[in-house]
Amino acid sequence: MLKVFKYSFLDLMRNRWTIAYALFFALCSAGLLYLSGDGNKVIVSAMNIVLLLVPLVSVIYGQMYLYQVREYVELLLAQPISRKAIFMGYYLGISTALSLSLLVGFMLPALLLQPSYLLNTNWLLLIVIAVVLTFIFTGLACWLVLKYDNRLKGFGAGLFIWLLLAVLYDGAILVILLLLEDYPLEKLALVLSMLNPIDMGRMLLIFQLDYSALMGYTGAVFSHFFGTRLGGFILTFGFGVWLSFPIVLLLSKARKKDF
């Protein structure tokens, strides 16, 4: 597994698109840090970019890479290496490479422009969330590549999953909340948003950024939840489930698939 990981990781780190990805985030965060004085605003703007782009890029990039090395993977499968080792190696290689470019993209401008950000918990939290999302969505990408031999279908499914989780899901929550308006909804709303990793990341950050609007009654209830140990535990658990879910899918698919 380590050999495959090392190979794919180094291959990707040399790829100009990985460098472009890091450069993009570096430019974004440098621009935000440079233009905006207020700390919270920088983080919120960066958060919007991260929550939209990181899942999209992870899915599409992961799929593109895996479809590209498909023949090589088939060659590897003929060797005495377990399927698990091959696919986990690729999965870890891609996600580590993307995470590394994210880290560089966010840390380097902070280091140069405002070193105080390196210790800002919210900034670090944002980076952690970005990394977790990278792993989740790269995992989904690997699974989709195995599931669909047809590239078009694969990309379509990837885009759909991204659109669903990043945009449509919140709309669905809103509709459900509006339909059930007459009932107490705090717990339901929390549970529903916990089912989506992007929402989880967004809420985790928003509730750290002490928004005055969240100090209203319902907001205070939610804030309280995210502040307690139980809330922290549930969030960690939720992210844990979301991290392992694509891996489980990927491995079961890899075991059964007839190449």
Partner 1 sequence: MGAMGRTMIRYLVIIIIVVGGSVTANARELVVGLSSAVTSLSSALKMAKPYDTLCVNAGTYHPDSTLIITKPLYIFGNGNAQIEAAQNQGIFEIRSDSVTIAGFTLQNVPKNYLKDLAAIWVDYSQHFYIGNNTINNCFFGIFITKSKNGIVENNTVKGQAIHEHSSANAIHLWYCQKMVVKNNWVRHHRDGIYLEFVDSSNIENNISEQNLRYGLHFMFSNYDAYQQNTFSNNGAGVAVMFSKFIQMHRNNFNANWGDAAYGLLLKEIYDGEITGNTFQKNTVGIFAEGANRIHLRQNDFIANGWALKIRGSAMNNEFCYNNFIGNSFDLATDARTDYNSYHHNYWEEYSGYDLNKDGLGDVPHRPVKLFAYLVSKLDESILLMRSSFIELLNFAEKVAPSVTPTSLMDKTPLMKMYRPA
Residues interacting with partner 1, by CB under 8 A?
Answer: 38, 41, 44, 47-48, 51-52, 166-171, 173-174, 177-178, 181, 185-186, 188-190, 193, 199, 202-203, 206, 211-220, 222
Nearer to partner 1, 89 or 201 (CB): 201
State the nearest-atom distance from the C-beta of 170 to partner 1, in Å.
4
Nearer to partner 1, 56 or 60 (CB): 56
State the nearest-atom distance from the C-beta of 6 to partner 1, in Å.
36
Scored b (16 or more CB within 10 A) or e, 180-192 reads eeeeeeeeebbeb
Nearer to partner 1, 46 or 251 (CB): 46
What is the spatial distance between Cα 145 and Cα 66, in angstroms, rounded to a whole number? 7
Nearer to partner 1, 44 or 131 (CB): 44
The half-sphere exposure of 220 on its side-chain side, counting CA atoms within 13 A, is 3
Nearer to partner 1, 25 or 199 (CB): 199
Q: Which residues contact 220 (CB under 8 A, 6 or more apart)?
A: 214
State the nearest-atom distance from the C-beta of 132 to partner 1, in Å.
18
Please name which of 68, 205, 195, 188 lies closest in space to residue 136, comparing C-alpha atoms. Answer: 195
Nearer to partner 1, 1 or 177 (CB): 177
Place of tokens 């449509």: 168
What are the start-end ranges of the H helices in 121-228? 121-147, 151-163, 169-179, 186-194, 197-206, 217-227
State the nearest-atom distance from the C-beta of 240 to partner 1, in Å.
21
State the nearest-atom distance from the C-beta of 42 to partner 1, in Å.
13
State the nearest-atom distance from the C-beta of 255 to partner 1, in Å.
36
Q: Which residues contact 253 (CB under 8 A, 6 or more apart)?
A: 143, 146, 147
Assigned token pair, 161: 């999953």
